[in-house]
Chain A
Amino acid sequence: MTHTVTTRTRASRLATIAAVLLIAAGLALPAFVDRSMIKDLFFILTMLTLAQYWNLLAGYGGLVSVGQQAFVGLGAYGLFGAAIVWGMDPVLALPLAGLFALAVAIPTAFFAFRLAGAYFAIGTWVVAEVVRLSIAQWKAVGGGTGTSLPRSVQADMTGTDFVGTLFGVRSAAAQDILSYWLALALAVATIGGIYLLLRSKAGLALAAVRDNAEAARAVGVDAGRMKWLVFLAASFGTGLTGALIYLQKGRISPEAAFSVTDWTAYVIFITVIGGIGTIEGPIIGILVFFVLQTLFADYGSTYLLALGMIGILVMLFAPRGIWGAITDRTGLQFFPIRRRLQKTPRPEP
Chain B
Amino acid sequence: MNWLDTILQGILLGGLYALFAAGLALVFGIMRLVNLAHGDLIVLGAYLVMYLVGALGINPVLAALFAAPLMFALGWAIQRLVLNRVLGPDILPPLLVTFGLSIVIQNGLQMGFTADSRRISAGPLETASVDLGFVTLGVMPLLTFASAIAVILVLNWIFYHTAMGRAFRATSDDPVTASLMGIRPKAIFAQATGLAMVVVTVAALYLGMRANFDPTIGPARLIYAFEAVIIGGLGSLWGTLAGGIIIGVAQTFGAAVNPEWQILSGHIAFLAVLLVRPRGLFPRAFD
Enumerate chain A interface residues (CB-CB to B < 8 A): 58, 62, 64, 66, 111, 114-115, 117-119, 121-122, 125-126, 129-130, 133-134, 136-137, 260-261, 265, 268, 272, 276, 300-302, 304-305, 307-309, 311-312, 315-316, 319
Q: Which 8 A-B pairs have the closest CB atoms?
A: A308-B103, A118-B34, A308-B104, A305-B107, A311-B100, A301-B107, A312-B100, A301-B110
- Residues facing A in B202-251 (CB within 8 A) are 219-220, 222-223, 226-227, 230
Known: A111-B275, A122-B223. A265 touches B103 (CB 8 A): yes
Check A114 against B107 for contact (C-beta < 8 Å).
no
Identify the closest chain B residue to A302 (Cβ): B111
User: Does B10 interact with chain A (Cβ within 8 Å)?
Assistant: no
Identify the closest chain B residue to A107 (Cβ): B271
Check B97 against A316 for contact (C-beta < 8 Å).
yes
Check A58 against B92 for contact (C-beta < 8 Å).
yes
Identify the closest chain B residue to A269 (Cβ): B100
Set A64, A125, A136, A308: member contacting B100, Cβ < 8 A: A308
Stretch at the interface among B54-62, B136-144, B164-172, B259-267: B259-267
- Residues facing A in B113-162 (CB within 8 A) are none
Enumerate chain B interface residues (CB-CB to A < 8 A): 32-34, 36, 82, 85-86, 91-97, 99-104, 106-108, 110-111, 219-220, 222-223, 226-227, 230, 260, 263-264, 267-268, 270-271, 274-275, 278
Set A129, A130, A276: member contacting B92, Cβ < 8 A: A276
18 other A-B residue contacts (CB within 8 Å) besides A64-B92, A308-B100: A118-B32, A121-B36, A122-B223, A125-B223, A126-B223, A129-B267, A130-B264, A130-B267, A130-B268, A133-B267, A268-B96, A301-B107, A304-B103, A305-B111, A311-B96, A311-B99, A312-B97, A312-B100
Determine how close the nearest CB of chain B comes to the CB of A178; give it in whole angstroms. Answer: 34
Known: A121-B36, A309-B104. A111 touches B94 (CB 8 A): no
Q: Interface residues of A: mostly helix, strand, loop or mixed?
A: helix
Set B111, B222, B260, B264: member contacting A301, Cβ < 8 A: B111
Determine how close the nearest CB of chain A comes to the CB of B108; give it in whole angstroms. Answer: 6
Set A58, A62, A136, A302: member contacting B107, Cβ < 8 A: A302
Check B91 against A117 for contact (C-beta < 8 Å).
yes
Q: List 26 A-B contacts (CB under 8 A).
A: A111-B274, A114-B278, A115-B274, A117-B91, A118-B91, A119-B230, A121-B34, A121-B36, A122-B222, A122-B223, A126-B223, A130-B264, A130-B267, A130-B268, A268-B99, A301-B108, A302-B107, A302-B111, A304-B106, A305-B103, A308-B107, A309-B100, A311-B96, A311-B103, A312-B97, A315-B97
Most chain-A CB neighbours within 10 Å: which of B91, B108, B222, B223?
B91
Q: Interface residues of B: mostly helix, strand, loop or mixed?
A: helix
CA distance in complex: A163, B93 (Å): 45
Determine how close the nearest CB of chain B comes to the CB of A288; give it in whole angstroms. Answer: 16
CA distance in complex: A107, B104 (Å): 32
Determine how close the nearest CB of chain B comes to the CB of A117; give it in whole angstroms. Answer: 5
Check A122 against B34 for contact (C-beta < 8 Å).
yes
Check B96 against A64 for contact (C-beta < 8 Å).
yes
CA distance in complex: A302, B110 (Å): 9
Set A111, A312, A319: member contacting B82, Cβ < 8 A: A312
CA distance in complex: A316, B239 (Å): 34
CA distance in complex: A269, B83 (Å): 18
Determine how close the nearest CB of chain A comes to the CB of B149; give it in whole angstroms. Answer: 25
Check A272 against B96 for contact (C-beta < 8 Å).
yes
Complex contacts, A122 vs chain B, CB 8 Å: 34, 36, 222-223, 226
Known: A126-B223, A133-B264. A114 touches B104 (CB 8 A): no
Complex contacts, A134 vs chain B, CB 8 Å: 264
Most chain-A CB neighbours within 10 Å: which of B33, B36, B103, B223?
B103
Most chain-B CB neighbours within 10 Å: which of A272, A304, A315?
A315
CA distance in complex: A117, B267 (Å): 20
Check A315 against B111 for contact (C-beta < 8 Å).
no
Check A316 against B82 for contact (C-beta < 8 Å).
yes
Check B101 against A312 for contact (C-beta < 8 Å).
yes
Determine how close the nearest CB of chain B comes to the CB of A51; give it in whole angstroms. Answer: 14
Complex contacts, B107 vs chain A, CB 8 Å: 301-302, 304-305, 308
CA distance in complex: A224, B182 (Å): 40
CA distance in complex: A53, B96 (Å): 16
Set A62, A115, A261, A265: member contacting B230, Cβ < 8 A: A115
